[in-house]
Amino acid sequence: MRPQHEHEIDKDTCSSSSSNNINNTSSSSSLGEADIKVIILGDSAVGKSKLVERYLIDDYNPRRLSTHALTLYRKNIALGDDAGDGDGNCGNSNDDNSNTVKVDFWDTAGQETFNSMHPSYYYQAHVCILVFDATRKQTYLNLKYWYKELRTYCPTIPCILVANKVDVDYMVTRKNFKFPKENNLPFFFVSSADGTNVVKVFEEAICAGLGQRKYGEKDFLSECLELFEDSPLFDDEGEEGVSSDNQLESSWSKK
C-alpha cells in the first residue's frame, strides 16, 4: 500500500549545537533518528530542492546543517491501517507497530560536485533519488559519475532515476534514455513546476526505503563505520573524526 497523504509534521527545530556536526547517524538532531533516510543526488540546478519542497509543500521542517552544506527535511507519513499486509514493500518499519514512519530527506543544498560529497551524506541511507535536468544534456551525461559514487558507498540501496523539468518541453518524454535500462533503475518523468509525477516518485522512494530497511543488506560505509565504533581503540570523541579520504577520479566527457 502506498503512503497516505495525511501526515503529521514534527514541529521541533534542530538545536544550534546539533547543526555544528553530522554524526554517523541522522539522530544528531533533536527530532531523533528517522525510520527512513532518503538521499537526493544530481548536478547543481537540476531542481532537487524544488522537488522535495513540491512534495512536502508547506508541511515540512527544514534543518540546515551548514557545516556540510546540507538541508534535512523531516516528515511523518501515515501508511494506513492495512500497510504492510500486501507485498511487504510498504510495511510498518517501526518497532512499536505504529503506522506512521519518520522520513528524512537529505538535500545537498549547493554541494553538488559528485566527487566531493561528505561520506556522512551516504551513511545509513535507505534509498536514493537521482535527478537530472531533461533540458540539459550534460546533467544526464554526469549521471554515471553520481551513480558510481553512490554505489561506492551504498552498493545495494534502491535508486530511482528522475528526469525533471519536463514541463519545459513535454516532447522530451518521447526520447529513449539508455541509462535507466543499462542500470535497471525505475525511471520517471517529473516536473517540480506543475507537480507531474512528484508524489508518485516520493511514494515509490519511501516504499523502497521501507523495503531496504527491512530486508536490505548493509552497505559498505555502514559496515566500515560500525567497525570503528566497535573498536576499543576509539572513544566517543574519536568517532567524530571518522571519515573517508577516498575520492572518485572522474573525467567530464560526453558520450
20-42: per-residue pLDDT in tens?
Answer: 333 333 334 466 889 999 999 99
**200 pLDDT higher than 60:** yes
CATH of domain 7-231: 3.40.50.300
- For 170, the enclosing helix (H) or strand (E) is none
Q: Are strands 100-107 and 127-133 parallel, antiparallel or unpaired?
A: unpaired
What residues does each domain of the chain span?
Answer: 7-231
**160 pLDDT higher than 90:** yes
For the CA atoms of 19, 24, 30, 33, what is the dihedral angle to 10 degrees? 140
Residue 164's pLDDT is 96
Of the candidates 112, 122, 188, the residue with the CA atom closest to the CA atom of residue 156: 122
For the CA atoms of 213, 12, 20, 36, what is the dihedral angle to 10 degrees? 10
Name every residue whose Cβ is closer than 8 Å to that of residue 60 and which is 6 or more positions away in sequence: 9, 52, 53, 73, 74, 75
**94 pLDDT higher than 90:** no
Q: What's the whole-number average pLDDT of the chain? A: 73
Mean pLDDT score, 200-218 = 90
For the CA atoms of 46, 156, 96, 57, what is the dihedral angle to 10 degrees? 10
Contact assessment for residue 247 and residue 165, using Cβ atoms and an 8 Å cutoff: no
Higher pLDDT, 7 or 128: 128
Burial grade of 181 (CB within 10 A; 0-12, 13-18, 19 or more):
exposed
Higher pLDDT, 231 or 13: 231
Q: What is the pTM of this model?
A: 0.69
